[in-house]
Amino acid sequence: MKNVLIPTKLEGIAKDILTAKGYRVTQDSKPLEELVKAFPETEVLIVRSEKVTPQIIDSLPGLRLVVRAGAGYDTIDTKYARRRNVDVMNTPGANANAVAEEVVAMMLASARHVVQGDVTTREGKWEKNKFMGTELTGKTMGILGMGNIGRLVAKRLEGFEMKLLVYDPIMSADLAEKIGAEITSIEDIFAKSDFVSLHIPQTNETKGMVNKKLLGLMKPGACLINCARAGIINENDMREIRKEKKIIFCNDVYPKDEAGPKTVADIADLMLPHLGASTVEANTTAAKRAAEQTISYFEKGITTFVVNKGVPDGLNEKYQELAFALTRLARCYLGTGSAPHQVETSFYGDLDKYAKWMQGPIVAGIAPEFDLYLDASDAEAFLKDRGIVFVNRQPDDSKKYGEAMTIDLFEGTTTIKKVSVRGTIAENNLMISRVNDFDKLYLEPNGNNLFIEYKDEPGVIGKIASLLGKNKINIVDLRAPQNIGGDRALAVMKTNVPVPEEMLKEIKELVKAGVVFNFIY
């Protein structure tokens, strides 16, 4: 009999399912800090937005599993839980339809002035002319992020006959065509859409990404909807651009889910108290899945939705990091504006038997929103949803690469563009040994790495070094592997600071480079 603590207002179906299976369940909405003191024998925690900190975990010596009844688990210290041998699980997709419908509700409410119209009419006013609206039909909808929610938003809008522009780092063109969407750049979405909806995670890369540059591209009077994460939008930039563009801003997410003044109050036309997942159906589905996954975990050993998995015995976890780093490099080389349609891998030596443990890190290297700790089944489902083929080749160990791996990304249907990278671990350090035909690179991918591929001719490296020097950027290390028999050359310069975007363009023009990018790791 397992002791389960549910310190939140979760639909009773979770308690009913678990109790019927013989679990001892306590459900109470008191503060979690109080409940863990009262029930120190707890082995399973089922939470919603409650913070599960190292202190909470340490207060429950018998804790084995934390289940987030919902998708996002940023309120749970997953790394500390792993160190304490506690698995953390979520219920992805349970809230997706609720959030998608909320997006449509916000679009309609903002387009037809539903909230303001109700308020003034109740006051006895008749401001019909003031609230002239606009129709959704025939307009352009831009969706950033085509995961569960993004795809459902597209589906729910089918009846409005809108043009769909979408951005997803790994969605295939074939899948986009099936749902009637056009894959384009983030800049195009902001420039061409009448409505833009955000469905991307908040990471170091996406924090503040909706900034002055993107907002400045928006049509006057266009609508931006954020039901993702608060930190994605630079509020000060929104404040500035909104004055000029009269952007309509609908918001449902905040840095903290709590009462009190909100920093976006002066710029949001519509504000909701994080109601995205607040439907009876979503709550019931999340509760049901949380209970069923708990039972499957203990009775069948099913760990499909565990988000902080460890590594199997015998595998140095550095190799998972290597798989992630190599894939990220290949993704940068391919171009972040391109979407790979196929991934092929080869794992040499003893690594081949751990191939499935590399799939999660590889997919995380392609798509920032995919969690590094998820496993092969999660990775396969993620790729399938986006129409991407994954092939693990039989390794040729006669090449004597030792414990190494090769990761290839393919993009395009008629004209195929391929990027191939190989790497290994040397003296416990990540080592990139080959990129395409440029062998013996032997690069540690730490710090700021400037990659330039160009037509091989004398003096090119000197020109680049001179330009960097003029801009007070130091070259810490230089690698220039040869492409034997070819007319292309590669230079990789490790710099003391990242090279600014404008300078990348200048370098590209200066040496007529085919590929120029920063790889920061």
Answer yes or no: is 350 within a domain.
yes
On whether both 112 and 241 belong to a single domain, the answer is yes
What CATH number is attached to the domain comprising 494?
3.30.70.260
Q: How far apart are CA 50 and CA 170, in angstroms?
A: 32
Grouping H, G, I as helix, E, B as strand and the rest as coil, residue 16 is helix
**Euclidean distance between the first and the last CA atom of the chain, given in angstroms as a whole number:** 46
Answer yes or no: is 414 within a domain.
yes
- With helix as H, strand as E and coil as C, how does 125-176 read? CCCCCCCCCCCCCCCEEEEECCCHHHHHHHHHCHHHCCEEEEECCCCCHHHH
Number of domain units in the chain = 4
On whether both 338 and 432 belong to a single domain, the answer is yes
Answer yes or no: is 276 within a domain.
no
Q: How far apart are CA 95 and CA 281, in angstroms?
A: 9
In angstroms, what CA-CA distances link 265 with 255, 313, 512?
13, 52, 48
Answer yes or no: is 30 within a domain.
yes
Q: How far apart are CA 349 and CA 423, in angstroms?
A: 13
Whether 334 and 440 have beta carbons less than 8 Å apart is answered as: no
Grouping H, G, I as helix, E, B as strand and the rest as coil, residue 250 is strand
Tokens describing residue 482: 């040869």
On whether both 70 and 149 belong to a single domain, the answer is no
Q: What is the pLDDT of residue 485?
A: 73
On whether both 396 and 481 belong to a single domain, the answer is no
Helices (H), 301-354: 318-334
Q: How far apart are CA 174 and CA 238, in angstroms?
A: 35
Q: What is the pLDDT of residue 374?
A: 67
Q: What is the pLDDT of residue 165?
A: 97
How do residues 45-98 score in pLDDT, each as one tens digit?
999 989 999 999 999 999 999 999 988 888 899 989 988 999 999 998 888 999
Beta bridge partners of 210: 233
Q: Which domain holds residue 45?
A: 3-93+281-300
Closest CA to 387 of 190, 214, 171, 233: 171
**Antiparallel, parallel or unpaired: β 223-226 and 248-251:** parallel
Please identify every stretch of the chain with a pLDDT value under 50, giving residue numbers as ranges. none
Answer yes or no: is 225 within a domain.
yes
- Which pTM does this prediction carry? 0.71
On whether both 113 and 215 belong to a single domain, the answer is yes
DSSP E strands, 246-387: 248-251, 270-271, 342-347
Answer yes or no: is 372 within a domain.
yes
On whether both 221 and 353 belong to a single domain, the answer is no
On whether both 105 and 193 belong to a single domain, the answer is yes
What CATH number is attached to the domain comprising 35?
3.40.50.720
Q: How far apart are CA 124 and CA 150, in angstroms?
A: 40
Answer yes or no: is 305 within a domain.
no
Whether 511 and 475 have beta carbons less than 8 Å apart is answered as: no
On whether both 242 and 192 belong to a single domain, the answer is yes
Answer yes or no: is 441 within a domain.
no
Q: How far apart are CA 435 and CA 439, in angstroms?
A: 7
Residue pointed to by tokens 């160009």: 454
- 267-301 CB burial, b ≥16 within 10 A, e <16: bbbbebebebbebeebbbbbbbbbbbbbbebbeee
Q: How far apart are CA 151 and CA 156, in angstroms?
A: 9
Chain Cα centroid distance, residue 490: 30
On whether both 361 and 287 belong to a single domain, the answer is no
Final residue before a domain boundary, out of 384, 418, 436: 436
Q: What is the pLDDT of residue 373?
A: 62
DSSP 192-238: H-SEEEE-----TTTTT-B-HHHHHHSPTT-EEEE-S-GGGB-HHHH
Q: How far apart are CA 218 and CA 215, in angstroms?
A: 5
Beta bridge partners of 67: 46, 89
Q: What is the pLDDT of residue 97?
A: 95
